[in-house]
Amino acid sequence: METLKVGDLIVSEDGAAKPVLFIGCQTFNAQSIRAFTQLCPVTIAKGTTATSTPLHDLHASPQHHIPVRAPELQTLCGFDAAFVAARDMPYARPGSATETTYVNLVCAPHTCIRANGCESETLFPGDTALLSMSLDDRRDIRAALDAGLTQKTAYPCLTAQEAAVCRSAIQSREKRAA
C-alpha cells in the first residue's frame, strides 16, 4: 500500500482492475489512541479467518469491514456474504495503543481488495467515514467520485449484535464438525 498512488490499478475481489480514486492517510498519536479507545486499532491475527488469512497480522480501524461468507449468513440473514466490523470479528483483539496511521483507498464502486492476503473493504465514503476526515479529504473524495456519494456498500453490513449471533452459529457448526 505504501507505493500506491491515485490512478494506479488494484485488483478487486472479482479479479477486475479498479483505479484508485483517492488515497488518504490519517495519523493519531498514542495519547489520542489512549484517550479515544474507538481509535485504537484492532488486530486480526495471522491465519485466524476461515480462509487461513491474513498472511501476517492485519491491523485495521475498529469500524473497518471484513467480508464474511458462511452458510449461517444465508440462514440467519438471507445473505451469501456480509461485512463485519473488524472489532466484531471472531478472533479480533485490541491492537497496540501507539501512534497509528490509517490508510484509506477509495474505488468506485465500493469493493474488496486483499490486505495481507485477507479480503478487506476499500473505504466506503459514508457519513461516518466522511465526518472523521479533513475538509480537504472530503472535497477530494467528492471530486474523485464526481459527487456520486450515493454508492452502496459492496455487501450488507452486519450490526455488532447480528455479527455476534452469526459468530455463535459458525462456532457451533465448527464444534460439531470437530
- Taking only the tens place, the pLDDT of each residue in 88-105 is 998 899 999 999 999 999
Task: Name the DSSP letter for residue 108.
Answer: S
Helix (H) or strand (E) holding 86: none
Listed as ranges, residues in the chain with pLDDT below 70 are 1, 147-150
Do the beta carbons of residue 116 and residue 58 sit within 8 Å? yes
99: nearest Cα among 166, 175, 41: 41
Percent pLDDT > 70 in the chain is 97
Give pLDDT, residue 132.
87
Q: Residue 2, Cα to own-chain centre: how many angstroms?
A: 17
CA atoms of 128 and 112, how far apart (whole Å): 19
State the Cα angle at 146 between 141 and 149, rounded to 5°. Answer: 65
